[in-house]
Amino acid sequence: MDDHRRTELHKTVYLKDYQPPDWLVDTVDLRFDLDEKATTVRSILTVRSNHDTGRGMRPFVLNGRRLTLNVLKQDGRPLDKARYRVDDEALSFTPSSAKFVLEIETVIDPSANTELTGLYLSSGNFCTQCEAEGFRRITYYPDRPDVLARFTTTIAANKKYPVLLSNGNLTGSGDLVDGRHFATWHDPFPKPAYLFALIAGDLARVQDRFTTMSRRPIDLNIFVQHHNRDKCTHAMESLKQSMKWDEEAYGREYDLDTFMIVAVDDFNMGAMENKGLNVFNSKYVLARPETATDSDYQGIMGVVAHEYFHNWSGDRVTCRDWFQLSLKEGFTVFRDQQFMEDMTSPGVQRISDVAVLRNSQFREDAGPMAHPVRPDSYVEINNFYTLTVYNKGAEVIRMMRTLLGPAGFRKGTDLYFSRHDGQAVTTDDFVRAMEDANSVDLAQFKLWYSQAGTPELSVTRSYDANAGTYTLTVSQSCPPTPGQPDKKPMHIPLAIGLLGKNGGELDLKLDSGSKEGSKSLVLELRKPQESFTFVDIPAEPVPSLLRHFSAPVKVKLDLTDEERLLLMAHDPDEFNRWDAGQQYAAKLILELVQDVQDGKPLALDNRFIDAFRITLESGMKDKSFQAFALSMPAETYLADFMEIIDPSAIHEARRFVQETLAAVLKQPLLAVYSAHQDPGPYRIDQESIGRRSLKNMALAYLSLLEDGDVCDLCLRQFRGGGNMTDVLAALINLANNECHERDDALAMFYGTWKSDPLIMDKWFAIQAASRLSNTLGTVKKLLHHPAFNIKNPNRVRALIGSFASNAVRFHDPSGAGYAFIAEQVIAIDAMNPQIAARLVSAFTLWKRYDAKRQSLMRGQLERILSTPSLSKDVHEIVTKSLV
Ligand code: BES
Ligand code: ZN
1 pLDDT more than 70: no
Nearest atom within ligand 1 for CA of residue 131: 8
If one residue of 128, 269, 282 were mutated to test the ligand 1 pocket, choosing by the most ligand atoms within 8 A of its CB, it would be 269
* Cβ atoms of residues 119 and 23 within 8 Å: no
User: Which residue, judged by its Cα, is nearest atom 8 of ligand 1?
Assistant: 131
Nearest atom within ligand 1 for CA of residue 134: 8
Percent of the chain with pLDDT over 90: 96
Q: What is the mean pLDDT of residues 187-201?
A: 99
State the Rg of the chain over Cα.
28
Interval between CA 769 and ligand 2 midpoint (Å): 28
Q: What is the mean pLDDT of residues 735-757?
A: 95
585 pLDDT more than 80: yes
pLDDT tens by residue, 608-647: 999 999 999 999 999 999 999 999 999 999 999 999 999 9
447 pLDDT more than 70: yes
Interval between CA 867 and ligand 1 midpoint (Å): 29
User: Which residue, judged by its Cα, is nearest atom 18 of ligand 1?
Assistant: 303
pLDDT tens by residue, 833-876: 999 999 999 999 999 999 999 999 999 999 999 999 999 999 99
Return d(Cα 401, Cα 34) in angstroms, integer: 47
Interval between CA 313 and ligand 2 midpoint (Å): 9
User: Which residue, judged by its Cα, is nearest atom 15 of ligand 1?
Assistant: 270
Nearest atom within ligand 1 for CA of residue 385: 7
Q: What is the mean pLDDT of residues 128-146?
A: 98
Predicted confidence at residue 5, as pLDDT, reads: 52
Nearest atom within ligand 1 for CA of residue 117: 8
User: Which residue, judged by its Cα, is nearest atom 19 of ligand 1?
Assistant: 333
In DSSP terms, which residues pair with 881 in a beta bridge? none
- Strand ranges in 10-81 using DSSP code E only, listed in sequence order: 13-14, 23-33, 39-49, 60-63, 68-74, 77-78
In DSSP terms, which residues pair with 207 in a beta bridge? 221
User: Which residue, judged by its Cα, is nearest atom 4 of ligand 1?
Assistant: 272
Nearest atom within ligand 1 for CA of residue 273: 11
Predicted confidence at residue 229, as pLDDT, reads: 98
Return d(Cα 295, Cα 705) in angstroms, integer: 26
Return d(Cα 861, Cα 123) in angstroms, integer: 34
Predicted confidence at residue 516, as pLDDT, reads: 66
pLDDT tens by residue, 114-123: 999 999 999 9
Predicted confidence at residue 513, as pLDDT, reads: 81
* Cβ atoms of residues 638 and 586 within 8 Å: yes
Residue whose C-alpha is closest to residue 163's, from 192, 126, 129, 134:
126
- For residue 849, the 8-state DSSP code is B
User: Which residue, judged by its Cα, is nearest atom 20 of ligand 1?
Assistant: 270
User: Which ligand has the nearest atom to the CA of 306?
Assistant: 1
Q: How many CB atoms lie within 10 A of CB 64?
A: 23
User: Which ligand has the nearest atom to the CA of 278?
Assistant: 1
Interval between CA 148 and ligand 2 midpoint (Å): 19
* Cβ atoms of residues 83 and 102 within 8 Å: no
pLDDT tens by residue, 151-165: 999 999 999 999 999
Interval between CA 271 and ligand 1 midpoint (Å): 5
Predicted confidence at residue 264, as pLDDT, reads: 98
Nearest atom within ligand 1 for CA of residue 307: 11
Interval between CA 266 and ligand 1 midpoint (Å): 14
User: Which residue, judged by its Cα, is nearest atom 3 of ligand 1?
Assistant: 272
Predicted confidence at residue 54, as pLDDT, reads: 57
Nearest atom within ligand 1 for CA of residue 310: 11
User: Which residue, judged by its Cα, is nearest atom 9 of ligand 1?
Assistant: 131
Pocket of ligand 1 (CB under 6 A): 131-132, 269-273, 302-303, 306-307, 310, 329, 333, 336, 385, 390
pLDDT tens by residue, 491-521: 999 999 999 999 999 999 999 887 766 999 9
If one residue of 117, 279, 300, 307 were mutated to test the ligand 1 pocket, choosing by the most ligand atoms within 8 A of its CB, it would be 307
Q: What is the mean pLDDT of residues 7-17?
A: 86
Could you list which residues have their CB under 5 Å from ion ligand 2?
329, 332
* Cβ atoms of residues 374 and 450 within 8 Å: yes
Interval between CA 303 and ligand 2 midpoint (Å): 9
User: Which ligand has the nearest atom to the CA of 332?
Assistant: 2
The backbone torsions φ and ψ at residue 37, rounded to the nearest 5 degrees and listed phi first, read -100, -25
User: Which residue, judged by its Cα, is nearest atom 2 of ligand 1?
Assistant: 272
**Secondary structure element (H or E) that encloses residue 563, with its range:** helix 561-570
Give Dmax (Cα) for the chain.
95
Interval between CA 330 and ligand 2 midpoint (Å): 8
Catalytic residue status for 307 = yes
Nearest atom within ligand 1 for CA of residue 390: 19
55 pLDDT more than 70: no
* Cβ atoms of residues 377 and 13 within 8 Å: yes
**Secondary structure element (H or E) that encloses residue 242, with its range:** helix 233-250
Predicted confidence at residue 679, as pLDDT, reads: 84
pLDDT tens by residue, 125-134: 999 999 999 9
Interval between CA 792 and ligand 1 midpoint (Å): 17
Tell me which of 105, 133, 273, 307 is the catalytic residue.
Answer: 307
Interval between CA 272 and ligand 1 midpoint (Å): 6
- Strand ranges in 242-308 using DSSP code E only, listed in sequence order: 258-264, 271-272, 277-281
- Strand ranges in 526-650 using DSSP code E only, listed in sequence order: 529-534, 542-545, 554-556
Mean pLDDT of the chain: 97
User: Which residue, judged by its Cα, is nearest atom 17 of ligand 1?
Assistant: 303
> Predicted confidence band at 37 (pLDDT cuts at 50, 70, 90)?
very high
If one residue of 238, 382, 385, 834 were mutated to test the ligand 1 pocket, choosing by the most ligand atoms within 8 A of its CB, it would be 385
> Mean pLDDT lowest for which of 109-118, 176-185, 511-520?
511-520
**Secondary structure element (H or E) that encloses residue 823, with its range:** helix 816-829
Predicted confidence at residue 53, as pLDDT, reads: 56
